[in-house]
Amino acid sequence: MPRQWTADLSVGNSEMDGQHRRLFDLALLLWRSAEDPAIDSQATIDAIIDYTYEHFANEERYLRSIGYPGLRDHQRNHGNIFVALDNIINRFADDERRVLVRELSEFVSEWLVRHILHEDMAYGRFVAERRRRTDAGAAGEVSGLERLRQLKSALDEGLITAEDYERRKQDVLERM
């Protein structure tokens, strides 16, 4: 049986988590279709392909919007997964369908787990770290000068964009 989404797979973004959950649900539905004739396995496979594509596109848009430095590698990973998925599906015509339906549903949940734990969690950490660095002094815990230094190092490490840096710097200067 394919694994299901659990809280330890959260990437800290509710929209992305929701999309991951939906992919796990589809993998489970596909698994069930091997036994339940009421579930259309071909329609479920089509839904998996469509939704995988949609999720990857959404996630890449999100990563671009936050200026994620690992975007290119992440896109390449998505591309590889998409091709691997396609390869399994192309074998459907020849092999025994029930076996393949199970193989495919397990494949989907396994790559999901692996990809989420390694690549997706990495952008979750990136966002969390940036938030920690740039919001630490917002409540007046550190001096304005210290905030400026933190922002500068966040910029140097690529955690924030130049535009973001300018905006936040102005905020700090106004409050000093």
Q: Which stretch binds Fe ion (CB under 5 A): 34-42, 80-88, 115-123, 148-156?
A: 115-123
Q: Which stretch binds Fe ion (CB under 5 A): 31-39, 54-62, 64-72, 135-143?
A: 54-62
Token digits for 115?
A: 């990809």
Return the closest-CA partner of residue 154 out of 141, 164, 142, 145: 164
Instruction: Between 120 and 137, name the residue whose CB sits nearer to Fe ion.
Output: 120
- DSSP per position, 40-61: -HHHHHHHHHHHHHHHHHHHHH
State how far the Cα of 152 lies from the Cα of 172, in Å rounded to an integer. Answer: 12
Return the closest-CA partner of residue 111 out of 11, 37, 24: 24
Instruction: Between 19 and 39, name the residue whose CB sits nearer to Fe ion.
Output: 19
User: Count H helices, E strands: the chain?
Assistant: 7, 0
Contacts of Fe ion in 58-87 (CB under 5 A): 59
Instruction: Between 61 and 163, name the residue whose CB sits nearer to Fe ion.
Output: 61
User: Applying CB under 5 A, does 120 fall inside the site for Fe ion?
Assistant: yes
Instruction: Between 59 and 130, name the residue whose CB sits nearer to Fe ion.
Output: 59
**Residue of minimal Cβ distance to Fe ion:** 120
**Relative orientation angle of helices 14-33 and 97-115, to the nearest 10 degrees:** 160
CB of residue 116 to Fe ion, shortest distance in Å = 6
User: Applying CB under 5 A, does 17 fall inside the site for Fe ion?
Assistant: no
Residues that bind Fe ion (CB under 5 A): 59, 120
